[in-house]
Chains A and B, each alone.
Chain A
């Protein structure tokens, strides 16, 4: 087959047809990004703009990294109101644009952020009205976004993914209310949950609107705010609770975003993220609500929810992004293990298109660069269609 450009490769795959080879994507934390740049012999800055959500400390990889690794999909994102993301308060604690307070926790070899204060832990429905919510209309949210998207379209061969939202609905509710408390709410405080979800839905829609108005015409995929719906073994609630309490908000968010997006790009796709063992009834609900692409396809989960099972069950209607294991293979395996996994995953996922290869979650700085390089080399080696 004649060689395709990166964008043709991605769009063909997302159209459920086989491109010249399996396309690839990159998603990494800022510390991992610096490590990758250094290893690729590229200049490393002290700071990079905040990526998908403030707290995840991820970064939208720039075109030089995407090109050198041989990936095909480049990400841009809406920025936090005020442009900064975290504000530091007493004791070195960090407050994000939602008012969630985090602490930097040191471990051997790095640090990460964890929540020390859930601002709505004891809130009532009435408190939600007076809460200082982030403002999607703040000019910093889309500052430079249109120019960046336009430049990338004109000067690079990559397909473009726009990371919208800046927190999400169920996901952000967990951070505002607390993990333990939110699950109790599902049983006893349904009125509060609905009021909180509704507030978060309005904000999500607004972030998506301003992002799409700025850059929609140059964008191929819109990724909604990431939402985690499951642990490795089980969804966070029953299918009936999901359908009654959570899904209606996703449906409205997908509908609204897709309608706006299709005005700018009629072929645009909606991408949705969850970690964990999302089950068939959840996937059916999300598909029916309008999900086109599902990431990041965690590997070490119960059998029904593994990438290969989803491909078999939903592959004709749904595309997948991710599926290279971040729990063992990338951090602890050898490059040979990575190659083997890429080869196996391509066999499982790539037939008929509908698969973009990437790590099954963010690349973190504990992953040896050799393993990351091996992943992108292996997709070039084993990803050529027809897959053997």
Chain B
């Protein structure tokens, strides 16, 4: 089987112990890191997303696929020194101040990266001023703000207000997400979009940037 197909299927099967070897083989065969992302990893993770959406895959499967995916991306990373990474947009993401939850956010980061975005993950418990500093520094197209608790949801609004006050609101599209979040809340606090899960975050990000689906 073609090495690219093998990597794609490795991601779908979540066999993360074999991922590094396969990616190295592809590099040895002269595949470029960008090709590996576009022609193998993206296809694999798209299929994982599809299976997750229609209840063929559940968290145990998705977590092992995610681990295979991050292994592949880590293996490719040193090879981007000579070749510039092709990107369809820049995405900055963090969990709001006062909230330490990150599993969902990490899956979103990983899916966005696998789908061709350049991702800057600010981690958890991110203060509004850190979002602002990083927006100034990285000039992202999109900002993702995550909150997992009703108690920390108001910090999403505070973060958006702070971005506005800093005069940066029209420079970025803002997506919000997290367990208690819905479209109504996203509208109320003036976000540009709400994504229910990582797959939807990729879709909505593309729509917001006018890239179609």
B64 neighbours in A (Cβ, 8 Å): 183-184, 187-188
B190 part of interface (Cβ distance < 8 Å): no
Asked whether A105 lies within 8 Å of B63 as measured between CB atoms, the reply is no
Main secondary structure of the interface of B (DSSP, over half): loop
A180/B60 contact (C-beta < 8 A), A110-B151, A364-B150 known: no
Partner of A236, one of B55, B59, B100, B182: B59
Within residues 218 to 256 of chain A, which ones have a CB less than 8 A from any CB in chain B? 231-238, 241
Using C-beta atoms within 8 Å of the partner chain, give the interface range for chain B: 20 to 34
Task: For the complex, give the distance between the alpha carbons of A179 and B179 in Å.
Answer: 15
- By the criterion of a CB under 8 Å from any partner CB, how many residues of chain A are at the interface? 35
Chain A 271-284 interface mask (CB, 8 Å, partner B; 1/0)? 00000000000000
User: Within the complex, what minimum Cβ distance (angstroms) separates A385 from chain B?
Assistant: 33
B151 in contact with A237 (CB, 8 Å): no
Is B46 engaged at the interface, CB distance under 8 Å to the other chain? no
Q: A107-B98, A184-B63 are in contact. Are A234 and B149 (CB under 8 A)?
A: no
Taking CB atoms, residues of chain A closer than 8 Å to B55 are 234, 238
Name, among A106, A116, A180, A236, the residue most crowded by chain B CB atoms within 10 Å (CB to CB).
A180
- Asked if A132 is at the interface (CB within 8 A of a chain B CB), the reply is no
Measured CB to CB, the nearest residue on chain B to A181 is B63
Quick one: closest A residue to B188, CB to CB?
A332
Select the residue from B52, B97, B103, B150 with max chain A CB neighbours within 10 A. Answer: B150
B196 touches A233 (CB 8 A): yes
Q: Mark B18-60, 1 if CB is under 8 A from A, else 0.
A: 0000000000000000000000000000000000100100111
Least distance between B58 CB and chain A CB atoms (Å): 5
A316-349 contact mask (Cβ, 8 Å, vs B): 1 or 0: 0000000000111001100000000000000000
Q: Which of A105, A183, A332 contacts B60 (CB 8 A)?
A: A183
CB of B14 within 8 Å of the partner chain: yes
Residue numbers of B with Cβ under 8 A of A are 14, 52, 55, 58-64, 67, 97-101, 103, 106, 125, 149-152, 154-155, 158, 179-180, 182, 184, 196-197
- Residues of A in contact with B (beta carbons under 8 Å apart): 103, 105-110, 112, 114, 116, 179-180, 183-188, 231-238, 241, 300, 326-328, 331-332, 364, 366
